[in-house]
Amino acid sequence: MAVKSLIKYEVERDPDFAQWVSHVIGGERIRNCIQCGLCSASCPLSPYMDFTPRRLMHMAREGFKRDVLGSFTIWLCTSCYSCTVECPRRIRVTDIMYALKRRAIEDGVYPRRFPIPVLASEFRGMIRRNGRVTETWLVFLVFMKTAILRLLGMSKLGTKLLLTGRMGILPETIRDRKQLQNLLDDVEAHRKEVAA
Amino acid sequence: MEAGKGHLRIGVYVCHCGTNIAATVDVKAVADYAATLPGVVVARDYKYMCSDPGQELIRQDIEEQNLNRVVVASCSPLLHEETFRGAVAKGGLNPFCFQMVNIREHDSWVHQDHQKATEKAIALVRAAVRRVAFHKPLVKKRVSIHPDVLIVGGGIAGIHAALTLANAGKHVYLVEREPTIGGNMAKFDKTFPTLDCAACILTPKMTAVIKHPNITLWTLSEVTQVQGYVGNFEVAVTRHPRYIDEDLCVGCLECIEGCVYKQAKVPDEFNLGLGKRKPIYISFPQAVPQIPVIDRETCIDFKSGRCKKTCIEACGDRHAVNLKQQPKLETIKVGAIILATGYQPFDARKLPEYGYGVYPNVYTAPEVERLINASGPTGGEVTLRDGRKPQAIGIIHCVGSRDENTNKWCSRVCCMYSLKLAHLLKERTGAEVYQFYIDMRAPGKAYEEFYHKLLEEGVHMIRGRVAEVTDWPMTKEEEGKLVMRAEDTLISFVRRIPVDMVVLSVGLVPQADASDVRRLFNISCSTEGWFLERHPKLAPVNTFTDGIFIAGACQAPKDIPDAVGQAGSAAAEAMVLIDTGYVEMEPNTAYILENECSGCKTCVPLCPYSAISFLGDKKVAQINEVLCKGCGTCVAACPSGSIKQNLFEDEEIFEEIQGVLA
Amino acid sequence: MKRYLYYPGCSLRGTGKAYEESLLAVFKALEIEMEELEDWNCCGATAYMSIDEVSSFALAGRNLAMAEKKNLDLLAPCSACFLVLNKAQRYIKEYPKVAQTLEHGFKAAGLEYHGTTKVRHPLDVLINDIGLERIKACIKKPLTGLKVAPYYGCQIVRPYATFDLMYYPVTMDKLLRAVGAEVVDYPLKTRCCGGSQKGTLPEVGLSLIHILLKEAHRREAHIVSTICPLCQFNLDAFQEEAGKKYGEISMPVVYFTQLLGLAFGFSPKELGLERNIVAAKQLLAKFAPAAA
């Protein structure tokens, strides 16, 4: 029986992180949270989360950065917005989850070969290159990088998709890729000013 | 006393106010400067001018130095203008030959630069000294107060206020728009925390009202017009017909028995639509007055003209049923008005996720009160719509409260009444009761102890707001039930609780016509729609309109003890007016120089208090001094400059401006 | 006659091909003119927002800026595209810093953005612009006796319920009833299907999918009607796997436009019904025999 002390000391709190959370887009009202639990109650994914959304919100605004960014919760969010529309304090929980995802990716806090950040990264790469996403190639790339064996297990489904014509082979692209790249380059260069 | 520099003997007093003023403003320097101004014969600085010794300084100087004008530089006139006017009067000088300067809220409390603050104080004092030279002696006008009181709203607050005033010998009109008094409290079963039967404690007061010789009770009546001013209100009341003559009816209720409808068919408002009544009915057995009412929307005779009118037959010799009864218009004169119009419960259909109106077994708390009540639609049996007894009941707190999407406020009573319902439901049905709350608010006397009693009864306390009430099952046990999904935040697990019945603890919201009523009486509402009190802490029953008071839930959500407390307080305030017999008006009213008025009528429609009328024969405008509040609109608007204002004469204002700019 | 700009989105060219096919068929029958937004780019969906929010607004913004030039309403059938385009528009308006950063970016790309484009959904257009009468007039074979569970998914009613009710949306119900189908009361009509979680966190995703299918089956629906390509994919492609784990349920999942198209007399092939993994053809043959 491995016994561990779970007490939290004040030095563990990261006030900068707490401050950052309340300044992200959608995070303005996080201090208004009364911990009613409606977000957790309405979230279809909450039974699977290690910290329920409500619990995560309080930990985030208190500054427990490691627990928050290392949680399973932020990756389970499917952005269905149930929490956001129900919250009696009008806190945009979904947007805060997005911000935490972004921060976790930026800080590199996630298990290696964890599919979700890999998916996001490949998605972005594909758009940067082509302007559009070809689902087949996206899925292929993600599985190659994270769970190559599962890819083999999906061959039956893959065949069905191929036969029903739902598997796009040729990559979709836009014509004016330069324009999109200029746009995204410029925005990426300046986006830090938005504190996102 | 002549205004004008030659005869002036002005006394200037600069207050330290402890360190409130003196820490920022060099009060000694201000006093020294004031002493140099023309007309000033004495200038002092003192630690606390409002204290007895401070006031004594003024009185003494007036006597010994023959002062004929006084200036005090201290705090806001709202606090001590009356104090200093009193001191001046004590010294034998007219209290309006006085000007107060605010060098605290307008100076020391808002500036940090000492030198600049002192300069500002000096400028303000200089301005006041120049102004006060032109002050004229004035007299407060007295207006008599009519001794009757009107109370609008016959709930517990209205009833209590009426009885208090009536017992003090005042004549009270109690106007209630429902056919019976009793308000929302009459619909409760038991009250927290004592679990007294609501009707048992209320009905004695209700019968006291109807028996009291000093109370004129008008039910099924509404106020339609209010004119006048404090002490002299003229109110028009429409008494809607109940089609039963109140003087002839003895309350035997035979007419209801005799109605052609053998079965009650009309949804019953008193039972919130859960029960049925006949077109001729009495709201509940202990209704006051004990006189039935005929609802013309559902009575066959009114709708088609063809009815056997067995009700008239049943009434027999008394001939109390009068289907031709007309609305009666009454006009009354009263000196004070108390509004006790109460609240309405939040409409739970605004929160579709709880399934009210969709799932038949989702009830609001007021509906459950009626179910539990022995004189309710089910005779006190708590059953589901299909007659089964519930095995599990869920109670959801804060429905329509503490929610930016509906109402921001906390409705104050729902935690307590939810606990009460939990107790009663468990007692009545033996079901498992689940209480879903966010915070347990039990602030009153014996309320926390009541909460502890509930904890001991084995009610499941789940701290978490319910997201949805649905009927789709995840497990076998959930089939055929209503499932409530919430996070039990105290253990950080999401829970699904299958229940048979859901009770929504709806919050309190203002009456639907609150904004119309407030306009009728010329008072204000807050942004949330509750009637606005003069000061939330120190004047909760007064309004900004003199002579009109508010009491009970119409001012803000509250429980019965607080409503009764406020009712007594409002009655006392009304009594102050009536027993004093007169009210003194601040003499800052506007007046018209008749000779200079050109009769252009520009001012007449501008007055927000309707104080200006046009004299057709003389062709000049006239201001009713008592209605005038001294806002200055007409003074500024008059094209010929023939309207002046006491305490704000042109010379006074210009001198003050010159003094500041000098 | 109103013209619309058509924004298919990446899914309608991939796994959601049947949605495009049936949508275009139905709109043609109703004589609604549409032109595809030229050189549209991916909206970013939910994935780009996990990397860089302002850039995802920029992606959406490029489409909106190009649409502005045409001065037509922009029709976005895919739920995620619909949400992202709407959200981008609102957030650019609400957050001055976002607007500033994007303005700079748009200038660098030679684009002009004023936020005037109206983003519409096919359900909205069909109910409000076209009207049920015109739809009823096109019916060749009403879907009498077909019991449908209407599944809206999350993104078209949350967080912005612009053309329908947030908790119990009814536009698709109305359309399906208008073509003769019986719409089953389905309380999970806006519950999340899990989105991309089936791919990334399989057990979680599968459970959410199963809950939806099970309840549709319990309510005795013959078929589930969707509006979102990802929802359709989840409920369709993984139905067999869910069946293996939780108990078999056979419930075809189609797009509402496919059902409308059947009622209008189009053949299953024209409506992309051959592309369903869980075969729908046989079932639908019962209810629209001439079309099958």
pLDDT at site C292: 44
- Outline where B382-541 has alpha helix (H): 414-429, 447-456, 514-521
Q: Of chain B residues 62-101, which have a CB less than 8 A from chain A?
A: none
Q: What is the pLDDT of residues B147-180, one digit of tens each?
A: 999 999 999 999 999 999 999 999 999 999 999 9
Q: What is the pLDDT of residues B268-308, one digit of tens each?
A: 999 999 999 999 999 999 999 999 999 999 999 999 989 99
Contact between chains at A51 and B492 (C-beta distance less than 8 A): yes
* Residue tagged 């969906």 (tokens): C45
Do A91 and A161 fall within a single domain?
Answer: no
In a domain, A180, yes or no: yes
Contact between chains at A40 and B464 (C-beta distance less than 8 A): yes
Do A89 and A173 fall within a single domain?
Answer: no
| Candidate from B352, B353, B472 with C-beta closest to C215 | B472
ipTM exceeds 0.90? yes
* Residue tagged 């709203």 (tokens): B153
Q: What is the pLDDT of residues B65-115, one digit of tens each?
A: 999 999 999 999 988 999 999 999 999 999 999 999 999 999 999 999 999
Q: Where do the CATH 3.40.50.11810 domains begin and end in chain C? A: 139-287
> Is a pLDDT exceeding 50 seen at residue B2?
no
How far is it, in rounded angstroms, from Cα A121 to Cα C47?
8
Contact between chains at A176 and C105 (C-beta distance less than 8 A): no
How far is it, in rounded angstroms, from Cα C18 to Cα C21?
5
How far is it, in rounded angstroms, from Cα B116 to Cα B120?
6
Compare all CA atoms of chain A with the CA of C8 and give the residue at the minimum distance: A132
How far is it, in rounded angstroms, from Cα B312 to Cα B310?
5
Contact between chains at B494 and A40 (C-beta distance less than 8 A): yes
Do A45 and A62 fall within a single domain?
Answer: yes
* Residue tagged 């998914």 (tokens): C153
Do A40 and A60 fall within a single domain?
Answer: yes
Tell me the whole-structure pTM to 2 decimals.
Answer: 0.87
Chains touching B by CB (3 or more pairs below 8 Å): A, C
- Sketch out chain B's domains with CATH numbers: 5-139 (3.40.50), 141-240+327-342+512-582 (3.50.50.60), 254-318 (no CATH), 347-509 (3.50.50.60), 589-645 (3.30.70.20)
The residue among A76, A107, A138 that closes a domain is A107
Chains touching A by CB (3 or more pairs below 8 Å): B, C
pLDDT at site A126: 93
Query: HEC states along B180-230?
Result: CCCCCHHHCCEECCCCEEHHHHHHHHHHHHHHCCCEEEECCEEEEEEEEEC
Q: Phi, psi at residue C131, to the nearest 5°?
A: 95, 150
Q: Which residues of B touch C157 (CB under 8 A)?
A: none
Q: In what helix (H) or strand (E) does residue B276 lie, and over which residues does it extend?
A: strand B276-277
Mutation target among A106, A132, A151, A167 for the C interface, most CBs of C within 10 A? A132
In a domain, A2, yes or no: no
Do A126 and A102 fall within a single domain?
Answer: no
Do A102 and A135 fall within a single domain?
Answer: no
Task: Reply yes or no on domain C139-287 having CATH 3.40.50.11810.
Answer: yes
Q: Which residues of A touch B438 (CB under 8 A)?
A: 34-37
How far is it, in rounded angstroms, from Cα B245 to Cα B225?
25
Q: What is the pLDDT of residues B453-495, one digit of tens each?
A: 999 999 999 999 999 999 999 999 999 999 999 999 999 999 9
The pair of three-digit structure tokens given for residue B218, joined into one six-digit string: 């008008």
Phi-psi map region of B417: left, alpha, beta (phi>0 left; psi -120 to 50 alpha)? alpha
pLDDT at site A144: 87
SS3 for B46?
strand
Do A102 and A125 fall within a single domain?
Answer: no
Do A129 and A102 fall within a single domain?
Answer: no
Contact between chains at B352 and C188 (C-beta distance less than 8 A): no
Q: In what helix (H) or strand (E) does residue B334 lie, and over which residues does it extend?
A: strand B328-334
The pair of three-digit structure tokens given for residue B641, joined into one six-digit string: 């400059």
pLDDT category at B608 given cuts 50, 70, 90 is: confident
SS3 for B47?
coil
Mutation target among A100, A107, A130, A184 for the C interface, most CBs of C within 10 A? A184
Number of domains in chain A: 2
The pair of three-digit structure tokens given for residue B656, joined into one six-digit string: 């003050």
Compare all CA atoms of chain A with the CA of B353 and give the residue at the minimum distance: A86
Contact between chains at A179 and C158 (C-beta distance less than 8 A): no
Residue contacts between A and B (CB atoms, under 8 Å): 65
Computed over every residue of chain A, the mean pLDDT equals 91
Do A97 and A31 fall within a single domain?
Answer: yes
In a domain, A160, yes or no: yes
Residue C185: DSSP 8-state: P
Q: Which amino acid is at B467?
A: A
Q: Which amino acid is at B29?
A: A
Specify which residues B102 forms β-bridges with: B74
How far is it, in rounded angstroms, from Cα A141 to Cα C108?
31
Do A131 and A184 fall within a single domain?
Answer: yes
Contact between chains at C155 and A186 (C-beta distance less than 8 A): no
In a domain, A50, yes or no: yes
The residue among A107, A125, A145 that closes a domain is A107
pLDDT along chain C (292 residues), means of 10: 91 93 96 94 92 94 95 95 96 94 94 94 96 95 94 94 94 96 95 89 91 95 95 94 92 95 92 91 74 46
DSSP string, C207-221: HHHHHHHHHHHHTT-
pLDDT at site B3: 45
Which of B556, B578, B585 is CA-nearest to residue B172?
B578
Per the CB < 8 A criterion, the answer to whether C52 and A102 are in contact is yes
> B471 vs B566, C170, C183, CA distance in Å?
45, 19, 17
| Mean pLDDT of the region A81-96 | 96
The pair of three-digit structure tokens given for residue B452, joined into one six-digit string: 């502890």
Q: What is the pLDDT of residues B484-501, one digit of tens each?
A: 999 999 999 999 999 999
pLDDT at site C272: 93
Contact between chains at B487 and A90 (C-beta distance less than 8 A): no
Mutation target among B472, B489, B493, B497 for the A interface, most CBs of A within 10 A? B489
pLDDT category at B586 given cuts 50, 70, 90 is: confident
Give the minimum alpha-carbon distance from C201 to chain A in angstroms, rounded to a whole number: 8
Torsion of CA B590, B594, B595, B601, to 10 degrees: 90
Per DSSP bridges, beta strands B232-239 and B221-229 are: antiparallel
In a domain, A121, yes or no: yes
In a domain, A3, yes or no: no
Q: Does C162 touch chain A (CB under 8 A)?
A: no
Do A129 and A95 fall within a single domain?
Answer: no
Specify which residues B371 forms β-bridges with: none
| Mean pLDDT of the region B113-142 | 95
Q: Which residues of C touch B474 (CB under 8 A)?
A: 211
DSSP string, B235-265: EEEEE---SB-TTT--S--HHHHHSS-SS--
In a domain, A7, yes or no: no
| Mean pLDDT of the region B318-326 | 94
Q: Of chain C residues 163-222, which have a CB less than 8 A from chain A?
A: 166, 191-192, 194-197, 199-201, 204, 208
Q: Residue A190 belongs to what domain range?
A: 115-194
| Mean pLDDT of the region A132-140 | 89
Fold of C3-120: Glutathione S-transferase Yfyf (Class Pi); Chain A, domain 2 (1.20.1050)
Give the minimum alpha-carbon distance from A83 to chain B in angstroms, rounded to a whole number: 9
SS3 for C242?
helix
Per DSSP bridges, beta strands B343-345 and B508-510 are: antiparallel
Q: What is the pLDDT of residues B531-544, one digit of tens each?
A: 999 999 999 999 98
Compare all CA atoms of chain B with the CA of C207 and give the residue at the minimum distance: B474
Cα-atom radius of gyration of chain B, to the nearest Å?
Answer: 32
Contact between chains at B405 and A90 (C-beta distance less than 8 A): yes
Q: Is the peptide bond before C159 cis (omega within 30 degrees of 0)?
A: yes
Q: Which residues of C touch B473 (CB under 8 A)?
A: 218
Q: Does C108 touch chain A (CB under 8 A)?
A: yes
Q: Which of A10-14, A144-148, B378-382, B574-578 has the lowest mean pLDDT?
A: A144-148
Q: Does B594 touch chain A (CB under 8 A)?
A: no
Computed over every residue of chain B, the mean pLDDT equals 94
| Candidate from B352, B471, B473 with C-beta closest to C168 | B352
Do A160 and A100 fall within a single domain?
Answer: no
CATH number, residue A94: 1.10.1060.10
In a domain, A62, yes or no: yes
